[in-house]
Chains A and B, each alone.
Chain A
Amino acid sequence: MLRLIVRRLLQLIPTLLGLSVLLFVWLRMLPGGPASARLGERATEADRIAMERALGLDKPIWDQYYIFLRDLLSLDLGVSTRTGRPVWEEFTQRFPATVELGVTAILIAVVVGVPLGYLAARFRGGWIDVSAVSGSLIGICIPVFFLAFILKEIFAVGLGWFPTGSRLTTGINATDVTGFHVLDGLLTGELDATGDALWHLILPGIALASIPLAVITRMTRASVLEVLQEDYVRTAESKGLQQRVVRLRHVMRNALLPVITAIGLLTGSLLSGAVLTESIFSWGGIGSFIRDAIDGRDYPVLTSFILIIALVYVLINLLVDLAYSLIDPRVRVH
């Protein structure tokens, strides 16, 4: 098990190095540059050159890359060319917001999707099945930004049940410990902050959950249908076991295996959805910050953020694989 983890982590290094080279080249192909983006259109050529020298952009690209790597080894991600603040600071300030939103979405998707998929499979062809299947098909087809927008217009702007954006009501007293507001409230005992954070999470969470929910529901349904046909379920029934034992131990434990893998792969599409959802609910996460960084040609922020996101994605999938091998003993052998 440990060897697997180490091997996978070692495999990560060339992937990330390759990605950083690609990013470096790719970003410098974008028209314009951080200097002109920051100075605006009316800046003189001399101003631009001076600015580029100050940012170290006048050096050849391999020198820039060397400096980037050297700084990276001393855990220095550089300074944002747009805000002037350290990239790491910008990241840690925004990352918890996105993670909190993403985790909420996945939780909604799993808590609703798995039972729904199971029921759809058990009562195949019944009304639950028909509505779950058609609902998930439609769910995949609704653009996330439109769903987020409609939810906000109806339940926040129209009915006023939920806040229209941001992570906390202004004025609420919340001590920052981890950056995850829900968790912070629980840690410091400021339960009203936790409640407020949850209240803010509901609409964007639902919007972001739409695609994972649809995928997990369909996946669970297909998987349960397959497992119900298995001989070992029949064996379990032949032993006269309680229905609960047959369903949980024999059906669900096997049926959830492919669903777990799907959750790992969904984190990728979740980040895309986060960019859109965050901009509608003015969430202040990394999604909208990256969007602005692209416009501002903020090389240090883009390189570091995207590398970290890729790292997180790969790590999540590693975790998922480990979880999988814990549940499925057949994988452990390899």
Chain B
Amino acid sequence: MSTESNEPREPREPDTTPADGAAAPETDAPEPGTTGSPAASTAPTASTAGDPPATGAERTDSPLTKARMSKGDKIDRLAQLTARRETSSGDSLWVAAFRRLRSSKMAIIGAVIIGVFVVLAIIGPWIAPYSPTAQSWRGEVFSNRGIFVGPRAENWLGLDNLGRDELSRLLVGARQTLLVGIVATLIGFVVGALIGGVSGAALALGGRVGQRIDAVVMRFIDMMLALPSLLLAVSIAAVMGQSLTTVMIAVGVVQIPIFARLLRGSMLAQANADYVLAARSLGVKRRRIVLAHVLPNSLGPVIVQTTLVLATAIIEAAALSFLGLGNLDAAQPEWGVMLAQSQRFFDQAPMLAVYPALGIIITALGFTLLGEAMREALDPKLRS
């Protein structure tokens, strides 16, 4: 498609800068007589248009200027006027995507949320005012009679149903929550990308054997996708018994088919791209094409998905906790478990459920925002 047809909707960036500022003659510009674009690309960013008085002077002796004007003057003037504001060098896809990401409000909000969350996860246990497990104020809370202690000077967010400091538990729990999210995502990513990569590579490398491998692997992936993910996770948790590791693995396994499908599909699209055909016709080895071109170019959507799955993993871990399959170890408070356990007391102490719920929602939102912003930044169709 020509730029012409895009014109009405997407105004082309004007290549020239307006007349402002003083002239800065550029002497090493090529002659206008030679072929190629004169001056345009070599002109410095600072220079723009000439100063009006000079222009006026030239106009007055116009009949003679043609004869008197040196070639150098002509070149200088052109160089000034065609100067570009910004040399649009051939940025790589990733650099360009990163630049778009930096200017996206969504990405910034997401990154800030994630940043705060990660910092809390790291320093949480040290800044927590009290032990998260000590039932120091046990005598003041009677959950069976509906007596709870709300926020007060020594316990900023109040006490939980066992007389433990809620703030300390939330701070320590941030680390567990992040850990569950990251490990589960890693499991899904590594195994899924491996399966999808093998399948996609087998298909891209071609041959009957490659197709067979791909067909078998994809049938398996389809089977996994046909199972409701939560049921899969629940049954895995049932096999492994209740623990934090169980939750991580159960949530991670559920993500495997998604990653596998995504990477394979993305590799397939790349393998059918014209540049692969070009590389092939140049005699580049198929294995090299797959490893050096197809695979790296297919990773974009997978990386986006990784960010989004971090959010899903945290939410699904909470769901498993809600179903009673979460971590039982009281020494390791986790937001999902805290949310699940506090729902029983919602009528008397709703905030005990709201705090961890807000933590989960905001954290998941952070990852989702960043992931969506990345998706937009990498999408060639949305570029402007």
Q: Which residues of A contact B (CB under 8 A)?
A: 14-15, 18-19, 22, 26-27, 29-31, 137-138, 140-146, 149, 153, 157, 226, 229, 231, 268-269, 271-273, 275-276, 279, 290-291, 294-295, 302, 306, 309-310, 313-314
Contacts and interface: CB of A to CB of B under 8 A. Distances in A.
Interface stretch (B139-147, B191-199, B316-324): B316-324
Interface in B366-384: 368-369, 372, 381
**What is the interface of chain B mostly: helix, strand, loop, or mixed?**
helix
Contact of B323 (A18, A153, A226, A291): A291
B343 A275 contact: no
Interface residues of B, number: 40
Contacts of A19: 223, 226-227
Nearest to B312: A140
B93 interface: no
A272 B357 CA distance: 19
A302 B235 CA distance: 10
Contacts, number: 113
A133 to B, nearest CB: 9
B235 A294 contact: yes
Contacts of B362: 141
A324 to B, nearest CB: 17
**What is the interface of chain A mostly: helix, strand, loop, or mixed?**
helix
Given A272-B230, A294-B235, 12 more contacts: A26-B239, A140-B311, A143-B319, A143-B357, A145-B318, A146-B339, A157-B347, A268-B229, A271-B231, A291-B234, A294-B234, A310-B223
A15 B323 contact: no
9 contacts: A15-B226, A141-B315, A143-B319, A149-B346, A268-B228, A272-B230, A291-B323, A309-B226, A313-B226
A141 B361 contact: yes
A118 to B, nearest CB: 18
B220 interface: yes
A48 to B, nearest CB: 19
B219 to A, nearest CB: 6
B365 interface: yes
Contacts of A22: 223
The 10 closest A-B pairs by CB, nearest first: A272-B230, A141-B364, A271-B228, A310-B226, A141-B365, A145-B322, A19-B223, A272-B228, A313-B226, A143-B318
B5 A231 contact: yes
A146 B355 CA distance: 12
Contact of A137 (B230, B346, B368): B368
